[in-house]
Amino acid sequence: MQIAALYDIHSNLPALDGVLREASDLKVDRIVVGGDVLPGPMPREALERLAELECPVDYILGNGEVAVLDCLAGRTPRAPEQYQPTLRWVAGEISSDQVRFISGWPKTLRVTMEGLGEVLFCHGTPRDENEIFTESTPENVLLPIFDSAKAKLVICGHTHMQFERRIGETRVLNAGSGGMPFGEPGADWLLLSPSGIEFRHTSYDLREAAERIRGTKYPQSEEFAARSILQPPSREEMLRVFARAEIKG
pLDDT in tens, the chain (249 residues): 999 999 999 999 999 999 999 999 999 999 999 999 999 999 999 999 999 999 999 999 999 999 999 999 999 888 888 889 999 999 999 999 999 999 999 999 999 999 999 999 999 999 999 999 999 999 999 999 999 999 999 999 999 999 999 999 999 999 999 999 999 999 999 999 999 999 999 999 999 999 999 999 999 999 999 999 999 999 999 999 999 999 987
DSSP assigned state of 58: E
Contacts 24+ apart (CB under 8 A), 86-93: 86/39, 86/218, 86/219, 86/220, 87/39, 89/217, 89/218, 89/219, 90/11, 90/38, 90/39, 90/40, 90/43, 93/43, 93/44
Beta strand residue intervals within 95-230, DSSP E? 109-113, 117-121, 153-156, 162-167, 170-175, 187-193, 196-202
Collect all residues with Cβ–Cβ distance below 8 Å to 95 and sequence separation of at least 6. 44
At 80 the pLDDT is 82
The confidence score (pLDDT) of residue 78 equals 83
pLDDT in tens, 84-105: 999 999 999 999 999 999 999 9
Determine what percent of the chain is predicted with pLDDT higher than 70: 100
Estimate to the nearest angstrom the gap between the alpha carbon of 126 and the chain centroid.
14
Coil, strand, or helix at residue 143? helix
Q: How far is CA 187 from CA 5, 97, 105, 238, in A?
A: 12, 28, 23, 17
In 144-226, DSSP assigns E strands to 153-156, 162-167, 170-175, 187-193, 196-202
Contact assessment for residue 131 and residue 124, using Cβ atoms and an 8 Å cutoff: yes
Give the per-residue pLDDT at 133: 97
DSSP-assigned beta bridge partners for residue 125? 128
Q: What are the structural domains of the chain?
A: 3-245 (3.60.21.10)
Which among 154, 147, 125, 145 is positioned nearest to 62, based on CA atoms?
125
Pairing status of strand 187-193 against strand 196-202: antiparallel
**What pLDDT is recorded for position 83?**
85
Radius of gyration in angstroms for the set of CA atoms belonging to the chain, rounded to a whole number:
17
- pLDDT tens digits, one per residue of 168-219: 999 999 999 999 999 999 999 999 999 999 999 999 999 999 999 999 999 9
Q: How many CB atoms lie within 10 A of CB 99?
A: 16
Looking at residue 120, its pLDDT comes to 98
